[in-house]
Structure 1
């Protein structure tokens, strides 16, 4: 059985979806392999993570994988994608550029909002299937996709195309995109935190994508933290002895404050266990990524990439 080559990453805002997508691209860039990391929301989050200048509408190398592979990145500009589309299917060339000056793009996407997603997914499909000298240009494509609340509509291009055209290039292109997205070539990873709202959105997104016959890959739990206090009963006397032996203040206020913090932390741990059980019940592979105590930097991305590489 072949492994997926197109990896789409989604998650509720604030769960670290862009960070996970970037780490996954590094993980897939093994020795001699080339990975393309695609951004579709225009936020330039990838450039910020890799500390580079804002990405243009072209594929450029931004990093080297752990074993010497190559990671390239592309920030898809929807207006440029439309011009490519017009040139490809209608041979407009310079005429397409002229339309740009008259605001034709804004007009088109206003009267047909689904066109934006058709163009974005069309570019992703093109990169996934592109060949040179009878060989795939990229071994893997990783997409930093829209958040969970919009991922179903984004990927369900055939439904959006049906609103625009019954025949013609738009319909043909959308059918080609849908065939790739629903094939063994593609998989969708959902990023979450062990918090109530992200877990609920994760479950909702998986239910929606399953109903759309989209292939689910893994549930990726970001920023997990081990705790030495899990299941440990703590008393004031034990806290006081510990503080005293460490040469720290052990007055009543200090001990009482620490005890209250420990109890709140254990309540949090119980909630995380319950949420983790809910995710287990989804019966999809689960990957846990550690919280990076020093914050996110390039070294942190490689650390997350190592975890992903051993898990996916």
Structure 2
């Protein structure tokens, strides 16, 4: 079913109540011309695949995103801009400013999306290589800013986006520590969701956990999960790291189960093994984590020393 909310994201989107289809205002006005040989005429004649309109994740683009970011649509936008500038009709003059603003907004959105994708890729690479994002001087010495500047020197569109005078009054460059942390959070959530998806697909898994103080002497509980994926390859992934205060076997067992519970699709029924070190609070047969976890789940879960 068509949603009016889509108008906010795609201002050139149109919908016919009578015919029950969506179309593109710009491409309907300028369906032919150079650069549109491979363009689909679906957005001129009408699109009805409502279940495929929105994107599903970053890998599966919806029909709207595919069309409004396509080269043929950009060319149609350019044709509309030339038409609005050259025509002197009253209707065109009245709508000219509004259309120009909308066209500029859409072009800015597309450029912003392209720049953010590059910055996200830089953040992903730094995280993948376990490199620090920032140095002692957060403004200039950090790896994230330096690599972003390096890429910009070889990417004119990113260079233009970073140095655009129109952006300077608002300082919207997404290079600040706050933006870097946001990129890290987005990547963290994406990786965690992929891990949860694999665990759910495997149906059975074992849990491992241990505590260790960090540089600020705060005790951290690390919960890891071991499972076999659909290709029969064993995987061992950290599911969560959290501050822990209750070091008793009961307290640690509760926090381990809470870590699994926080990822809703992970079912306790799939937990078939548990593995910890030799400390009494973890391996104890009466008050250790392994015993309390079995009592909380309500069934026998074999314990293996690690």
Normalised to the residue count of structure 1, the TM-score between the two structures is 0.24
More contact order relative to length (CA 8 Å, sep ≥ 6)? 1
Max Rg structure: 2
Normalised to the residue count of structure 2, the TM-score between the two structures is 0.24
